[in-house]
Chain A
Amino acid sequence: MSMGPAENVYLPKIAVLDRVVAEIPEVKTFYWRFQDPAEQQPFRRFRPGQFAQVSLFGVGEFPASLPPSPDEDETFFTIREVGSCTAALHRLRPGDRFGVRGPYGNGFPMQQYHGRNLVFVAGGIGLIPLRSCIVYALQHREQYKSIQIFYGAKTPQELMYTEALKEWANARGVECHLTVDRAADGWKGPVGVVPSLFKRPGVEVKVANSTAFVCGPPVMFRFVIQDLLAMGYRECDIVSTLERYMKCGVGKCGHCCIGIAYVCSDGPVFTYEQIKDLGEVL
Chain B
Amino acid sequence: MKARVLNREDVLSVVDLLRRQGYEVLAPFRDRDRDTGFEAVTDENRARLELHLPNPFYPPKRFVFPQVERLMTIKTNASVQIEPNYMERKRAIFGIRSCDVAAIGHLDRFYLGRDYRDAYYEKRRQNLFLVNLVCTDAEQDIGKDCFCLCTDTGPAARAGFDLQLMDLGDDFMAVAGSPEGEALLANQMFRSATPAHVEWRRNILANARSRFQNNTSWFSATVRYVSQSEVLEKTWEEIGNRCVECGGCTYVCPTCTCFTVADRCLGSQEFERVRMWDSCALSGFTRMAGGFNPRRAVHDRRNRRFFRKLAYYFILREKSVACVGCGRCAAVCHGDIGMPAVVEMIRRANHGVTQP
Contact = CB atoms under 8 A, between A and B. Distances in A.
A247 B263 contact: no
A39 to B, nearest CB: 13
B332 to A, nearest CB: 20
Interface stretch (A1-9, A148-156, A181-189): A1-9
B336 interface: no
B183 interface: no
Interface residues of A, number: 43
Interface string A32-50: 0001000000000000000
B207 interface: no
Given A62-B289, A245-B288, A281-B294, A11 B72 contact: yes
A35 B296 CA distance: 41
Interface stretch (B2-10, B119-127, B139-147): B119-127
A253 interface: yes
Interface stretch (B13-21, B196-204, B210-218, B253-261): B253-261
Contacts of A85: 289
Given A245-B287, A247-B261, A6 B117 contact: yes
Interface residues of B, number: 51
A251 B286 contact: no
Contacts of B71: 10
A11 B72 CA distance: 8
Contacts, number: 118
Contacts of B271: 57-58
B68 interface: no
Interface in A59-99: 59-62, 82-86, 97, 99
B290 A83 contact: yes
A281 B95 CA distance: 44
A273 interface: no
Interface of A: 1, 3, 6-12, 14, 35, 57-62, 82-86, 97, 99, 243-245, 247-248, 250-255, 257-260, 265, 279-281
By Cβ-Cβ distance, the 6 closest A-B pairs, closest first, are A83-B289, A254-B258, A8-B119, A250-B116, A82-B290, A6-B119
Interface of B: 71-72, 74, 76, 79-80, 82, 84, 108, 110-112, 114-120, 122-123, 125-126, 229, 257-263, 265, 271, 275, 278, 280, 285-290, 294-295, 300, 304, 307-308, 311, 313-314
5 contacts: A14-B80, A60-B262, A243-B288, A245-B288, A248-B259
